[in-house]
Amino acid sequence: MTQTKRKYLVRRIVASAIVAALLGVGLARAFTGGSPPPPPDTAATMVPANTLVYLNLGTSKGALQWKRTSAAMAKLPLAGQLRDALFSATTSSTLGNLTLNDVKPWLGNEAAYAELPGTAQNLLLFRVRDQRAALRSIARAAGSSPPETHDGTLLRNVGGGSLAGVRSGWALIGARGAVQAALDLRSRPASSLAKDPTYSDLSGGLPGDRVGNAWLSQSWLSAHLAGPSAILAGLARVPAFQSAAIGFGDDGKVMRLAFRARPAAGPASGPGCNSGGAGQGDSLLTKAPARPALFLGMHGAGCMLQDLMASPTSGLGHVLQSFATLAQQSGVNVQRDILPLLRGNSGLSLTPGPTVTLDAGSVPAQQSLNVLGRLQPALIKLLNPEAGGVAPTFGAQTVNGVTAMTANLTPALQLSYAAFGGDLFVSTALSGIADAKKGAHLDQSKDFKLVLGQRPKDASALVFLDLEKLLALADQAGLGSNPTYAAVRDDLQKIGAAGGVLSREGNDIDAELRLKNP
């Protein structure tokens, strides 16, 4: 792949990659006692509380957080390009005639970006360690433009519609309205983002070993991350997010991207689907396969499916509604008979083969088996195997001491199901039932312990990815010719394993994505 094509692909995927990273699920609040203190966030005192989005970065290269994060990202070329693209997006249109190379010689230990309400009201804040050097850089960029003052601070037009000035050890660069709003906070400091209680609560709970943090307002989330935010809010069983804080760093073993959100006010979910929930216990992990390509565990999957079926714009919801119609013809009511089976804890595993296995926890054995037995005619109508000249067959087999019913629906699709240990298992291979009953399980996996060993006891959802196995399945499916997949494949292979966890901490939703250090 040429450098030009690679840069083009990076521009295409930077937004989705950052969104995926930001909305990666879960936050574990237990950190080692030896973790370093968080980087400074003094810039928040110079940003108005109504800021739409705020990014803060600790820029001290001697800090342990910086060294750890830089070392990990140096091994991931695409991650470096995504970082550079993010820096360019937040600075290129705001610096005017200045460049980052102009800033580096006098930059202190903190840098920040803020987007204020209004058209192109962007602001950059740089901690200044050499004020004379900073003023010289601004003067060169301003050229012969006449100086002006605001609240006693000298400002220069540095081009591109941006003003720049230095006050109290900080360089402020950006749109006129944004710079003036920041300077005005000296007379009313209580109106700054730092004094906002929600900002303090959310950012204060981020991991201390972060290298930077961010703040996303509700209006920004709605405008830029509406879809992903809705998915995460659905997993957390809340209507939407009021605002969110994000932290990124490396603890020496895993890279962490934490997401903390304050739920917005709104109606609760439907009957039997109240906000919160009992949380994701560990019992599913002791039955999940030891080395899956993917494992997803969550509480209240049936509630999410119920919401999707009620959504007028959901494509998956339309598929579920069509299936519900066929199921009703077989005497099975999806809302009454099937979704309640998934309102507790459930897990979904994908193993090489590929084999997909569902574990629905804490369901009545006889009731669930009866529902699946009555559902078979609906599955036959949906798949219509007779059109291919194949007659479906049904039978019982015993594996590892468990009696499993198996329906051979098509030459390529087999469904086996069994109930034991208080759970219902449905798998596309009989081996999925066998593995759940006996053998090593996910909670014993070394990579799982590394990325998700420390996690909340009552997580609402968790996900584990063995990227080596997932990439092998993707290659098997022919994705190697996809340019976007090709651009990220090497970096994902170096990471090897990833995990995410979602939980509720008091009133707030905590989420964290963890990547094994390459």
The band of 267, judged by pLDDT with boundaries at 50, 70 and 90, is: low
pLDDT for residue 32: 31
- Residue 363: partners with Cβ closer than 8 Å, 6 or more residues away: 341, 344, 419, 422, 423, 424
The percentage of the chain sitting over the pLDDT mark of 90, rounded to a whole number, equals 44
Task: Tell me phi and psi for residue 271, to 5 degrees.
Answer: -55, 135
Q: Where are the beta strands (DSSP E) in 300-412?
A: 345-351, 355-361, 393-399, 402-410
Distance CA 149, CA 172 (A): 13
For 41-161, where are the alpha helices, taking DSSP H only? Answer: 64-73, 77-91, 100-103, 131-142
Distance CA 106, CA 129 (A): 5
pLDDT for residue 200: 94
CA-nearest of 138, 150, 305 to 237 is 305
Distance of CA 180 to CAs 145, 433, 487, Å?
Answer: 18, 65, 42
Distance CA 391, CA 385 (A): 6
Q: Where are the domains of the chain?
A: 3-258, 287-440
What SS3 class is residue 298? Answer: strand
Tell me the two tokens of residue 181.
């709003």
Distance CA 185, CA 114 (A): 14
pLDDT by residue (tens digit) across 218-231? 999 988 888 888 88
pLDDT for residue 340: 87
The band of 281, judged by pLDDT with boundaries at 50, 70 and 90, is: low
* Cβ–Cβ under 8 Å, residues 429 and 355: yes
Opening angle at CA 179, ends 174 and 183, nearest 5: 155
Rg (CA), the chain: 26
Distance of CA 367 to CAs 137, 238, 242, 424, 503, Å?
Answer: 75, 30, 41, 10, 30
Q: Beta partners for 420? A: 423
Kindly report the length of the chain: 518
Q: Confirm whether pTM is higher than 0.85.
A: no
Q: Beta partners for 256? A: 249, 514
pLDDT for residue 274: 54
Distance CA 82, CA 90 (A): 12
Distance CA 488, CA 268 (A): 39
Q: Which position has the higher pLDDT, 184 or 13?
A: 184
CA-nearest of 91, 89, 108, 107 to 99 is 91
Q: What type of residue sits at position 167?
A: R
pLDDT by residue (tens digit) across 288-346? 998 999 999 988 888 888 888 887 777 778 888 888 888 888 888 888 888 888 888 89
pLDDT for residue 113: 95
Distance CA 350, CA 442 (A): 12
Q: How many CB atoms lie within 10 A of CB 16?
A: 11
Distance CA 327, CA 473 (A): 32
Distance CA 491, CA 77 (A): 7
pLDDT by residue (tens digit) across 407-424? 887 777 888 999 998 899
Cis omega (within 30 of 0) for bond into 267: no
* Cβ–Cβ under 8 Å, residues 498 and 22: no
Distance of CA 281 to CAs 228, 277, 455, Å?
Answer: 25, 11, 11
Between 483-495 and 467-476, two packed helices, what is the crossing angle to 10 degrees? 150
